[in-house]
Amino acid sequence: MNKYLDISPEVQAALAANKPVVALESTIISHGMPYPQNVQTALKVEQTIRENGATPATIAIIGGRLKAGLSPEEIEHLGKEGRNVAKASRRDLPVLVAQKKDGATTVTTTMIIAAMAGIKVFATGGIGGVHRGAQTTMDISADLEELANTPVMVICAGAKSILDLGLTLEYLETKGVPVIGYGTEELPAFYTRHSGFRTDYRLDTPEQLAEAFRAKLEMGLKGGMLVTNPIPEEYSMDPTVINKAIEEALSEADAKGVKGKEVTPFLLARIKDITGGDSLASNIQLVLNNARLAAATAKCLANG
């Protein structure tokens, strides 16, 4: 085992017994939602995974240790500290570990640590991607490169609708990452079920997802698989409302010179304010929906 990695006793026992485990990120706790909703949501997501027959493994860096499986106290710590905790991508891991600092894991670093621990399924809200205007800024999320290299299935509600979805799909195609629509042929756009873009394949059951990922692993193909699971209809936002809010938030970010890894937290916070909190409610529901699907798929993988 990696000498920098700590796996919680609960997660370690589940992995040793080949029981289903679902990884969860921690950026959503420290950078994605305000306190105390961030802690409440994190614990609710863990509870949902347990209720659906799997073991949750929330992932973070605590005191320089890579953690697969957090205690409620550690989740509370990340929630209260909020943006004082570093948002940790692949490039940040060596320094955070060497300096024994805390880090909230993005999709990228959650995949890395999950793979180290032997966890194959990861539930999140939405992945990063190619940002609007990337033709000139070259602002492309490290999440896409990680999906191309690290063997973890990522279940999400699509790429965040603040991104250029067409270019994000083109990048994933170039990198050989299968983009699966769960019960749909259309790429969901995080807050809404519709984007106008097609996924590579439609699969309709957790069993089919597990079979496809198992085949990928057994063929020795590198990289992960992206499963896009539409937000439940009753929580889907009006595309006109959310797109207007996104455009307003993007204009503000540009005017204020917000750059790099600060862009996404800034935009999500502003969209929440502009929509009167509706986007936060949708965000919570789509994460719970992804957790349920991830637990079911992890069970199928473990039983295969």
How many residues are there in the chain?
A: 304
Q: Which residue is catalytic, options 67, 87, 160, 299? A: 160
What the block records as the tokens of 49 is 């995974």
Please, which contacts does 210-214 make with residues 24 or more away whose CB atoms are closer than 8 Å?
A: 210/297, 210/300, 210/301, 210/304, 211/300, 211/304, 212/178, 212/180, 213/120, 213/153, 213/297, 213/301, 214/301, 214/304
Residue in the block written with tokens 């700590």: 6
With CA atoms as reference, report the closest residue to 286 among 162, 158, 125, 127: 125
Is 25 among the residues known to form the active site?
A: yes
- 210 CB-near residues (< 8 Å, 6+ apart): 297, 300, 301, 304
HEC assignment per residue over 123-168: ECCCECCEECCHHHHCCECHHHHHHHHCCCEEEECEECCCECHHHH
Q: Which residue is catalytic, options 25, 46, 74, 76? A: 25
- 2 CB-near residues (< 8 Å, 6+ apart): 66, 116
DSSP string covering 203-229: E-SHHHHHHHHHHHHHTT--S-EEEE-
Please state, as a whole number, how many other Cβ atoms lie within 10 Å of the Cβ of residue 95: 13
Is 211 among the residues known to form the active site?
A: no
Which residues are identified as catalytic?
25, 160
